[in-house]
Structure 1
Amino acid sequence: MKEIELKLQLDAVSAEVLGASNVLPEQWRTVQQRDLYFDTADHALAEAGLSLRIRQSGSHRTQTIKRSGSSEAGLFARSEWEMPVTTDGPVIDGSSPIHALLGEAVEDLIRVFEVEVTRRIWDVQDGCTNIEVVIDRGTIRAGDRHISICEMEMELKSGQPQALFDLARKLGGATPVRLGVLTKPERGNLLRQAQRAVVKAVPMPLEDDMTAAEAFQVIVQACIKQFRLNEDLLLASRSPKPLHQARVALRRLRSAFSIFKPLLGADAYELREGLRDLAGALGPARELDVLLRRARPGPLRDRLQTEREAAYDRVEEELGSVKARALMLTLVEWVQYGSFIVNPDLDETRTLSVRAFAGRALSRFRRKVKEGGRNIRRMDDVARHELRKDAKKLRYAADFFALLFDGKGEKVRQQNFIVALEAVQDELGALNDLATVPHILDRLALADHPEAPALLAGGTKKALIAAAADAHGSLIDAGRYWR
Structure 2
Amino acid sequence: MPWGCRRQQSGQGGLRTEAAAMASTADTTGQHVHTLLAAHSKRLVKLHPQVLEDRDPEPLHQMRVAMRRLRTCLIQFAPALDLPAGVSAQRLARSGRRLGLARDLDVLRERLDTRLLPRLSDAETRQLKPVFKRLKRERRDAQHELRSELHSGRYLKLLQALQGWLRDPSFTPLGEQPLSDWLPEWQWPWLGTLLLHPAWWLTDGTGAEEQELLHELRKGIKGARYRLENLQPASGDTALSWVERLKRAQELLGDLHDLAVLRDAIEQQLPQTLATQMPELHALLVEQQGSSWSGWRALAPHLLDPGERRQLLLGLLQDQANSSPQRATV
Q: Is 1:446 the equivalent of 2:269?
A: yes
Distance in structure 2 (CA, Å) of the matches to 1:286 and 1:451: 27
Normalised TM-score (structure 1): 0.49
Aligned to 2:257, the other structure's residue is in SS state: helix
| Map of 2:316 onto structure 1 | 482
1:386 aligns with 2:212: no
Normalising by structure 2, we get a TM-score of 0.69
Give the 3-state SS of the residue equivalent to 1:210 in structure 2: coil
Q: Higher strand share goes to which structure?
A: 1
Give the equivalent residue in structure 1 for 2:234: 404
In 2, distance between residues paired with 1:208 and 1:376?
Answer: 43
70, 79, 82: which one aligns with 1:262: 79
In structure 2, how many angstroms separate the alpha carbons of the residues matched to 1:438 and 1:269?
41
* Bigger proportion of residues as helix: 2
Query: Equivalences for 1:17-416 in 2 at 5 Å?
Result: 201-203=15-17, 204=20, 205-207=22-24, 209-264=26-81, 271-295=88-112, 296=117, 298=126, 299=129, 300-335=131-166, 337=168, 341=170, 346-347=172-173, 349-372=174-197, 374-377=200-203, 380-406=210-236, 410=237, 413-416=238-241
Q: Distance in 1 between matches of 2:40 and 2:184?
A: 21
- Structure 1 residue corresponding to 2:300, chosen from 466, 469, 472: 472
* Superposition deviation, residue 252 in structure 1: 0.6
Please identify, of 389-398 and 373-382, the stretch whose mean Cα deviation from structure 2 is larger.
Answer: 373-382
The number of equivalent residue pairs is 274
Query: Residues 92-146 of structure 1, C-alpha deviation per residue, up to 9 Å, x if partnerless?
Result: xxxxxxxxxxxxxxxxxxxxxxxxxxxxxxxxxxxxxxxxxxxxxxxxxxxxxxx
How far apart are the structure 2 equivalents of 1:222 and 1:415?
Answer: 20
Identity of aligned residues (%): 22
Partner residue of 2:122?
none
Q: Is the 8 A contact 1:377 1:466 kept in 2?
A: no
Supply the distance in 2 between the matched residues of 1:471 and 1:255 (Cα, whole angstroms): 25
Distance in 2 separating the partners of 1:279 and 1:207? 28
Deviates more, 1:459-468 or 1:320-329: 459-468
* Cα deviation, residue 464, structure 1: 4.3
Q: Where in structure 1 are there 5+ consecutive unaligned residues?
A: 1-196
**1:257 and 1:415, CA in 2 relative to 1: closer, same or farther beyond 3 A?**
closer
For the aligned residues, what is the CA RMSD?
A: 3.5
Cα pair 1:430 1:457 within 8 Å, conserved: no
**Residue pair 1:206, 1:404 contacting (<8 A) in 2 also:** no
Deviation readout 1:192-221 (Å, 9 max, x if unpaired)? xxxxx9995142222365211111111111
Counterparts of 2:51 and 2:293 in 1: how far apart (Å)? 35
In the TM superposition, what is the alpha-carbon distance from 1:249 to its structure 2 partner? 0.8
Larger radius of gyration: 1
Structure 2 distance, partners of 1:198, 1:390, is 19
For structure 2, the 5+ residue unaligned runs are 1-10, 118-124, 318-330
| Structure 1 residues 375 and 213: alpha-carbon distance in aligned structure 2, compared to 1, 3 A threshold | same
Deviation at residue 363 of structure 1 after TM alignment: 1.7
Assess, with a 3 A threshold, how the Cα gap between structure 1 residues 311 and 473 changes in structure 2: closer, same or farther. Answer: same
Q: Distance in 2 between matches of 1:399 and 1:277?
A: 24
Displacement of 1:242 after TM fit? 0.7
**In 2 relative to 1, CA 454–399 (structure 1 residues): closer, same or farther, beyond 3 Å?**
farther
Between 1 and 2, higher relative CO (CA 8 Å, sep ≥ 6) is seen in 2
- Match of 2:75, as an amino acid? S
SS at 2:189 equivalent: helix
SS for the counterpart of 1:368 is helix
- Structure 1 distance, partners of 2:38, 2:214, is 31
Q: 1:288 to 1:375 in 2, by over 3 A?
A: same
Moved more, 471-480 or 357-366: 471-480
| Aligned counterparts of 2:239 and 2:103: Cα–Cα separation in 1 | 31
Report Cα offsets for 1:63-102 as digits up to 9, x if no partner.
xxxxxxxxxxxxxxxxxxxxxxxxxxxxxxxxxxxxxxxx
